[in-house]
Amino acid sequence: MGYLLLAGAIAAEVAATTAMKYSEGFSRLWPSLVTALGYLVSFALLAQTLKTLSIGTVYAIWSGVGTATIAVLGLMLFGEGLSATKVAGILLIVGGVVVLNLGGAH
């Protein structure tokens, strides 16, 4: 159940960050409200996740998967460029999450 809550927290955070881009500096009402609600839901789910999973594992997955997903969405939705450096960064994030999880965090 903890990983399901974590997946929801990641999805809400990604939605909130994407909406923030569309909010144009919080000058557009609806994307701004989606941003606030998304972060509220994300943190609430994250807090519930921490009841059953370790903080190091949870935060590594939440931040790493969220960051990598936002980087990919930046490419797909906003036409951001893809460089070898960006690919390396995403791979390092994913690798770091894997290494932390293999390191025995419970």
CB atoms within 10 A of CB 102: 8
pLDDT for 67? 92
26-83 pLDDT, tens digit per residue, is 999 999 999 999 999 999 999 999 999 999 889 989 999 999 999 999 999 999 998 9
Residue 104 pLDDT level (bands cut at 50, 70, 90)? low
**The pLDDT of residue 97 is above 90:** no
Residues 6+ apart with CB under 8 A from 58: 2, 6, 46, 49, 50
- Cβ–Cβ < 8 Å for 16, 38: yes
What is the band of 100 on the pLDDT scale with cuts at 50, 70, 90? confident
HSE-up of residue 65 (Cα within 13 Å, Cβ side)? 17
* Ramachandran bin of 82, using left for φ above 0, alpha for ψ from -120 to 50, beta for the remaining angles: beta
What pLDDT sits at residue 106?
53
